[in-house]
Amino acid sequence: MQVSRAAGPPFAGPPGSGPAPSSAIRAPQGPPPGARPFPGSPPPPSQPSPPFARPGAPLQQQSPPQFGGPPPAMASQPQRPGFGGLPSGPPPQVQRAPFGGPPSGVSPQAPPFGGPPAAVASRSAPLSGPPAAASYQPAPPAAVPQRSPFGGPPAAASAQPPPIGGGPFTAAQAPPFGGPPGSVPQTAPTGGLRPFGGPSAPSQQVQFGAPPPFGGPSAVQPGAQPPPFGASQSQAPPFMGPAGGNVPPSFAPPMWQGQGAVPGGMQPSMRMPVMPGGMPPNALGQGMSHASTPTMPYSPHAQVSTPSKIDPNQIPRPVQETSVIIFETRQGGQAAIPPAASSEFIVKDTGNCNPRLMRCTMNQIPCTGDLLTTSGMPLALLVQPFALPHPSEEPIQLVDFGEMGPIRCSRCKAYINPFMKFIDQGKHFICNLCGFSNDTPREYFCHLGPDGRRRDADERPELCRGSVEFVATKEFLVRDPMPAVYFFLIDVSMNAVNTGATAAACSAISQALSDLPEGPRTMVGIGTFDSAIHFYSLRRAQQQPLMLIVPDIQDVYTPLQTDLILPISECHENLEQLLESIPVMFENNRIADSAFGAAMKASFLAMKSTGGKLLVFQSVLPSVGIGSLSAREAEGRSNTSTGDKEAHKLLQPVDKTLKTMAQEFAEYQVCVDVFLSTQSYVDIASISVVPNTTGGRVYYYYPFSALSDPAKLYNDLRWNISRPQGFEAVMRVRCSQGLQVQDYFGNFCKRVPTDIDLPVIDSDKAIMVTFKHDDKLQENSECAFQCALLYTTVFGQRRIRVINLSLSCTNMLSSLFRYADLETQFTYVVKQAANGIPSLPLSQVRDQVTSTCINILQSYRKYCASVSSSGQLILPEALKLLPLYTLALTKSVGLRNDGRLDDRSYWVSIVSSVSVLLAIPLVFPRMIALHDLTSRDDDDSLVPSPLTLNSENIHDDGIYLLENGEDGFIYVGNSVNPLTLEQIFGVSSLAGLPNQLVLEPFDNELSRKVNEVVNEIRRQRCSYLRLRLCKKGDPSGDFFRSLLVEDKAPGGLSYVEFLVHVHRQIQSKMT
């Protein structure tokens, strides 16, 4: 089902507005029209002009993923409080309820987008201020009234009547939906979506009747009426305003647990899921009759003419999908093909899991290993157990079996799921994974209906939903569920203090404290270190904190067993005071050494009894104590005789010390996140082992700037602690007989072959699971995958999240290609490449990547498209972008020759846990033009459609933003209109551009637009982009150009050349 994009964002109008009239009904609190950001381009609401909709064959374009359908970021107004509409924020009356919803009274407190309670930065300091601070920024008069905190530009609100779609998204000019106008009744989208966002569904919003497992700071009581999109439970958006401080928060990743979807509500507008490529499923593959002929320039496969004739404009490129897809996971008893990960879709779980949680590289499973080998494609699952759902999606339901515990297969211990078959009037059930026939426990018995299903199947989530959570019983507990423990560890060595990293860390922590889960089970502790480790005892009774120094950094210990980690409620004030005084206390510190490893170990010892999150803020190369490192980079450079051959050794951890340490951490459920704000080499290759083994990650701020980076540091930290997550988790993936799990990839610790231990698992982390055949699968049968994740919520409940996916088996190679999932496969390739980087020379890794691509394409060419002319490069439709992505991968930071070691190691560490959604942009960035944001008129999304990544699109009078989910590079041509510079950067000439960019909002249309776009991207990526300025003629400009993957580069081919290369390779293999 496709819904127009405009309708997609579940912005419902105010409760009273009901079904969306197409006419411009102004939201009661609508801002005055004058506030419209895009004057002149308000699209007539009733006249959708779908710019992108392709008649007939609606192509889905790559659209920015919208998880939560939250309204895209908004406004650039300086005074807007963050997302979260703070009470202190803008006057409530201007707030449009984002999703329609909530009574206006509610919205201020419970921002629909998970608005952070904290406001965004209002201080002039780069970090956003705490809520209270938000309000003090003087608001430009014009801006205040009309800025809806969550919503799109006010103009949209007023102009766009559809209360439900009036998404800020489309705000100004976008037609309410991008769907093909003809095919969908105008009202359909709105009608269809309403339930998701509509206020009518409040009852659905309460999850399980229990406190939200990962409640946001607002922690609304279950019984309370949360704002429709679960704002109450949503996490505070971590990303607050840009560094400028007065900008509204850029985005709030929506609730991870979508709420409020009313399944029935979507029926009317339900449509067929659409293939990522935009073609009806049967349009692909040979020998299949086409139900409809796609009006693609190439068909049935993507064809590229012979090298000499390649038309650069005809070669496959990603197209942006603008409409929202409604996706039912199973239809007609079969797995439906999930939409592209990068598209915006709303999932209705009808037996298979939400593809956000788990998706496979191929949507039909080859019956034999030979077939898989022939295809050249990988068979792997990408599991992201806490992936943020779309706000319109039904939350995962919690099932409590009481004392009995969840029903499991007595042989393979698989959990009950919709694919277990009940037989003998329901007395037995057959496990879909191992085939064993189990007795149905008497308490669980139910008669079967005429269709052979249990009569209660539809009432029981575990029998009708692909993903479900079970309350863990005692047998799953080795101890009481652990409290939520957060230990902050800050480098206070000379460099850290001098560069401002210490102050930034303290400030970030101080602000983030209020985002920690509330409740008595939330505990915090803090330490600092230079060449010794300093702990602080914050006992409330004491007037001043006690500083306990552990000077032995070779053989560390914890100085106290109690009092170092206390419930936040007991020490919040003391902690804030301490954080304020730490930078002052150490301002004259002359100790340059930093005992990173020892400090971690000591903190670990302090946390050992409970486990928890250890957040380390490190600024220099760890030089002393256990786990100290040396400047290998310099050694590597000076020792050129070893040359490139051994270069990759510098990407391996220097020794096993940190690995051993990390394994011990993991064993005691301690997860380490490392925030590296540095200006020099810190040996990420070695350091990253710790977070990667304990379920954490590395954050990297290089070169650290006290001006521009604190905002990102704060937002990263905030998101880190507030995003949905689970503690002390154990995960196992089971699969049907015939397959077996080959390996797991990701950030975890593995002690037994079958399970992986995750001290913490959060919404951003993905785990890749590869499979191999150990037997044949029956054609026409289904192959099942079940991921079971046992974890503890931040509120101390032990649960098992079970994610099921059942896919058909096939013997047909063409089906494999047809149902291939490009993005997932490519993510697999990226991860494999990252895996190889530390152990192989780079050129070899690139060759492997390229040959993976060639092998797949050649297999297709050989077995599925052999009739075509040999002069043609035939690409399987589903994988037509594989060459482009592959090319991009070979030019990525990780695989390019000219990167810094740390950059490459960082890339490798990021890739290890990256989700499908973010893996693609990491390699294949998105570039948009910023200078003409105000003048574009044909787009319905906040973020303009991306430009092709080649230099032909870069003009000297333009300003471009290229982002990969981590960094945003703003390129400024050298003949940019000074006025534009003034508007965006507040400088009048190129020369006046600062090196360290803080994107400040200025009171003009363009600046607002730019900030809006940046904030929207931040929201989409769940990451506060690190913005860097690139100027033409500068090294930074050259670097920017090196990211244009379609260009010919010194070490790499252009896209066309690469296609030619691929084609030649295939041809040579064929003959």
Partner 1 sequence: MSAADPSAAAPAAAADPDGPDAVRLTWNAWPRSKVEASRCVVPLAATVSPARVPDRSTAAPPPLPYLPLRCKPPCSALLNPFARVDFAAKIWICPLCFSRNHFPPHYAAISESNVPAELFPQCSTVEYIVGGAPGAAGAPPPPVFLFVIDTCVIEEELEYVKMAMRKAVALLPEHALVGLVTFGTQVHLHELGFSDLSKIYVFRGTKEISKEQILDQLGLTGAGRSGFPKIPQQPGGPQVNGMHPAATAGVNRFLLPVSECECTLSTLLDELQSDQWPVEAGNRAMRCTGVALSVAAGLLGACMPGTGARIIALLGGPCTEGPGMIVSKDLSEPVRSHKDLDKDAAPHFQKAVKFYDGLAKQLVSQGHVLDVFASALDQVGLAEMKVAIERTGGLVVLSESFGHSVFKDSFKRIFEGGEQSLGLSFNGTIEINCSKDIKVQGIIGPCTSLEKKGAVCADTVVGQGNTTAWKMCGLDRNTSLTVFFDVSPSERSSQPGHQNPHLYIQFVTSYQHPEGQMRIRVTTICRKWVDGSTNTEELVEGFDQETAAVVLARYISLKMEMEEEFDATRWLDRSLIRLCSRFGDYRKDDPSSFSLHSNFSLFPQFMFNLRRSQFVQVFNNSPDETAYFRMLLNRESVTNSVAMIQPSLISFSFDSPPSPVFLDVASIAADRILLLDAYFSVVIFHGMTIAQWRNMGYQNQPEHEQFAQLLQSPHEEAQMIIKGRFPVPRLVVCDQHGSQARFLLAKLNPSATYNSAHDVAPGSDIIFTDDVSFQVFCEHLQRLAVQS
Q: What residues make contact with partner 1 under the rule CB under 8 A?
A: 492, 494, 531-532, 535-536, 542-553, 555, 557, 559-563, 578, 581, 584-591, 593
- Minimum CB distance to partner 1 smaller for 203 or for 543: 543
Of the two residues 562 and 843, which places its CB atom closer to partner 1 in the complex? 562
| Cβ nearer to partner 1, comparing 438 with 531 | 531
What token pair was written down for 898? 């000219």
Task: Answer whether 1059's CB lies under 8 Å from 308's CB.
Answer: no
* Cβ proximity to partner 1, 74 vs 564, nearer residue: 564
DSSP string, 216-234: -TT---TTS---TTTTTTS
DSSP assigned state of 353: P
In terms of CB distance, is 159 or 578 closer to partner 1? 578
| Lookup: tokens for 744 | 């797991």
Please report how close the Cβ of residue 609 comes to partner 1 at its closest, in angstroms.
Answer: 11
Specify the residue, 244 or 545, whose C-beta has the smaller distance to partner 1: 545
CB of 539 to partner 1, least distance (A): 9
CB distance 19 to 194 below 8 Å: yes
* Nearest Cα to Cα of residue 740 among 379, 438, 419: 379
**Which amino acid, one-letter code, is at 747?**
N
Cβ 540 to partner 1, closest distance in Å? 13
Q: What phi and psi, each to the nearest 5 degrees, are found at residue 922?
A: -60, -35
In the complex, what is the shortest distance from the CB of residue 482 to partner 1, in angstroms, rounded to a whole number? 19
d(CA 1063, CA 330): 37
Half-sphere exposure of 200 (CA within 13 A, CB side): 18
The CA-based angle 361-362-364, given to 5 degrees, is 155
Least distance to partner 1, CB of residue 607, Å: 16
β-strands 959-963, 380-383 pairing: unpaired
Q: Which is nearer to partner 1, 414 or 509 (CB)?
A: 509
Report d(CA 216, CA 662) in Å as an integer.
29
Cβ-count burial 828-867 (b if 16+ within 10 Å, e if not):
bbbbbbbbbbbebbbeebbeebbebbbbbbbbbbebbbee
Instruction: Supply the minimum distance, in Å, between the C-beta of residue 538 and partner 1.
Output: 10
Residue 125: CB minimum distance to partner 1, A: 23
Chain centroid to CA 472: how far? 28
Q: Which is nearer to partner 1, 417 or 603 (CB)?
A: 603
Residue number, 588 or 638, with CB nearest to partner 1: 588
Is the bond leading into 703 cis (omega within 30 degrees of zero)?
yes
Calpha distance 438→154 (Å, rounded): 59
Alpha carbon of 383 to those of 331, 793, 873, 1038: distances in Å? 22, 19, 33, 37
**Min dist. Cβ of residue 621 to partner 1 (A):** 16
Q: How far is the CB of 553 from partner 1 (least distance, A)?
A: 8
Least separation in angstroms between residue 544's CB and partner 1 is 5
- Shortest spacing between CB 694 and partner 1, in angstroms: 25
What is the distance between the alpha carbons of residues 841 and 361, in angstroms, rounded to a whole number?
27
Least CB distance to partner 1 at residue 562 (A): 6
If the CB atoms of residues 580 and 1003 are measured against partner 1, the closer one turns out to be 580
Distance CA 688, CA 672 (A): 10
Min dist. Cβ of residue 442 to partner 1 (A): 45
Alpha carbons 72 and 910: distance in angstroms, whole number: 25
Least separation, in Å, of the C-beta of 478 and partner 1?
A: 21
| Structural tokens at position 730 | 């154990």
The answer to whether 258 touches 212, Cβ cutoff 8 Å, is no
Nearest distance from residue 727's CB to partner 1, in Å? 25
- Cβ atoms of residues 350 and 327 within 8 Å: no
Residue 299 vs 498, nearer CB to partner 1: 498
Tokens describing residue 90: 């803008």
The DSSP annotation for 433-446 comes to TT--EEEPPGGG--
- Least Å distance between CB 590 and partner 1? 3
CB of 841 to partner 1, least distance (A): 39
Cβ nearer to partner 1, comparing 605 with 879: 605
Other beta carbons within 10 angstroms of residue 21's beta carbon come to 16
Query: Tell me, what amino acid is at 232?
Result: S
492 or 820: CB nearest partner 1 = 492
Nearer to partner 1, 195 or 525 (CB): 525
Residue 125 sits at the vertex; the CA angle it makes with 122 and 130, to the nearest 5 degrees, is 45
Beta bridge partners of 1018: none
| Spatial distance between the Cα atoms of 614 and 607, rounded to a whole number of angstroms | 9
User: What does DSSP assign to residue 792?
Assistant: E
DSSP reduced 3-state for 536: strand
Q: Which is nearer to partner 1, 562 or 778 (CB)?
A: 562
Nearer to partner 1, 344 or 530 (CB): 530
SS3 419: coil
Residue (494 or 911) nearer to partner 1, CB? 494
421-423 and 428-430 strand pairing: antiparallel
| Straight-line distance from the first to the last Cα atom of the chain, in angstroms, rounded to the nearest whole number | 44
Q: How far apart are CA 871 and CA 876, in angstroms?
A: 16
Which string of DSSP letters, residue by residue, matches 649-681?
GGGS-SSSHHHHHHHHHHHTTEEEEEEEE-SS-
